[in-house]
Amino acid sequence: MKIILSASVLAVSIVMLACGTPPSEFGVYRQSDGTVGVHAPKSAKDNEAQAAAAEECKKLGKRGANIVETRKTVNDRFPVTYIFVCTAY
């Protein structure tokens, strides 16, 4: 039973990695007001940007990230910028 469960988790993880945007393609930065900004490439989905922000929030000792704002940019590489606030829960 444990082997089947482990194999299932591994298969799902591989599929998610194959379909997702690599984390290195996101531009993640901290802003002076405490929020986290994420420059997302064209191929990125909203939930992938949120995952990148959540990783940055974990570095700050927080547990997650909630989206505050989405902005379109004129940058061809990063056409969308997301602003997140880190959450303690």
pLDDT of residue 42 exceeding 50, the answer is yes
What band does 12 get if pLDDT is binned at 50, 70 and 90?
Answer: very low
Stated pTM of the model: 0.70
**pLDDT, tens digit (0-9, with 9 covering 90-100), for 15-31:** 444 455 666 689 999 99
pLDDT of residue 81 exceeding 80, the answer is yes
Predicted local distance difference test score (pLDDT) of residue 88:
85
Contact status, residue 29 vs residue 36, Cβ threshold 8 Å: yes
Lateral strand order in the sheet of 36-40: 27-30, 36-40, 80-87, 64-72
* Domain spans in the chain, listed from the N-terminal domain onward: 22-87
How many angstroms separate the most distant Cα atoms in the chain?
A: 52
Rg for the chain (alpha carbons), in Å? 15
What band does 43 get if pLDDT is binned at 50, 70 and 90?
Answer: confident
